[in-house]
Amino acid sequence: MESNNNPALIEVADLVELKKTGEPVILDCRYSLADHDSGERNYRAGHIPDAHYACLHRDLSAPVQRYGGRHPMPSAAQFQDYARNLGVDSDTQVIVYDDNRLGFAARAWFLFFFFGHKKISILNGGLKAWLDAGEALDTSEPTRSRQGNFSAQPKENLLVHYETIKQNLGKAPWQLVDARDSQRFEGIEEPIDPIAGHIPTAINQPWQNITDKNNGKVKSIAELKSQFGNLEDGKPLLNYCGSGVTACVNFYAQYLAGRHDSLLYPGSWSDWCSRQ
């Protein structure tokens, strides 16, 4: 992205300056669905200085239940405690990053956004951009010396759940958007969930299309508007994926593109499967 005036997206140079003049809370969101401990191992081997590690299944999800999908959203109380333990106040600038083209950083961004935090940004290009800029990594963990005063105020209107979707198929006031890759969407392969395919009426917009495959940076606002701006004009876009994680990448891209009516099905395909 050649220029960035959106506070939801921050460049490496801006983060460097912010670290000099402010006290941002930085979260390293690296993770692997194939190896749940790899993100934390990589974090300990080297991360952006002063970054805390944010684990998808421990910090950015609630415990798995019978329904709700593989990565249920945390409750307001759980997330508020987590943010306060990081020292997050209502006016703290929070920066999140990963090494997977927003795949997990967008989940952290969405949670802060959903729970009402206004100063939340994703580092454009993630860890690769930091290293490409010649910036150093650190292996020490930041201390957590104080409790923040962050107050979680969930925007429940952003979420749509199974029962509502099921009841409105064929007459929905939204357009379902599936963020998974085309092979999974079309039911050709399904490496994770017990049933292949997609929710009826959904269209496919793979989350990887949001970023440049070479540098992991977010595409231009013009490209994002072209991708999402005219989808079912007049209808909100209801995003889902396998478990409500990478759907947040599409939600985030739509937000950058100026679509502020987007929605999320947090349980996503894994929740849908569990009820069939």
DSSP track, 35-47: -TTHHHHHHHH-B
Contact between 25 and 88 under an 8 Å Cβ cutoff? The reply is yes
How do residues 105-164 score in pLDDT, each as one tens digit? 999 999 999 999 999 999 999 999 999 999 999 999 998 778 999 999 999 999 999 999
**Interatomic CA distance for residues 63 and 240, integer angstroms:** 19
CATH architecture of 156-274: 3-Layer(aba) Sandwich (3.40)
Domains 9-132 and 156-274 share a fold: yes
The β-bridge partners of 26 are 51, 95
At the fourth CATH level, the homologous superfamily of domain 9-132 is Rhodanese-like domain (3.40.250.10)
Catalytic residue list contains 241:
yes
**Interatomic CA distance for residues 239 and 244, integer angstroms:** 8
Judged by DSSP in three states, 190 sits in: coil
Q: Which residue has the tokens 């209502």?
A: 90
Domains of the chain by residue range: 9-132, 156-274
Residues 6+ apart with CB under 8 A from 144: 52, 85, 86, 87
- pLDDT (tens place) for every residue of the chain, 276 residues total: 344 568 999 999 999 999 998 899 999 999 999 999 999 999 999 999 999 999 999 999 999 999 999 999 999 999 999 999 999 999 999 999 999 999 999 999 999 999 999 999 999 999 999 999 999 999 999 987 789 999 999 999 999 999 999 999 989 999 999 999 999 999 999 999 999 999 999 999 999 999 999 999 999 999 999 998 777 667 999 999 999 999 999 999 999 999 899 999 999 999 999 998
Judged by DSSP in three states, 193 sits in: coil
Query: Vertex 265, ends 263 and 266: CA angle to 5°?
Result: 115
State the catalytic residue, choosing from 29, 55, 241, 273. 241
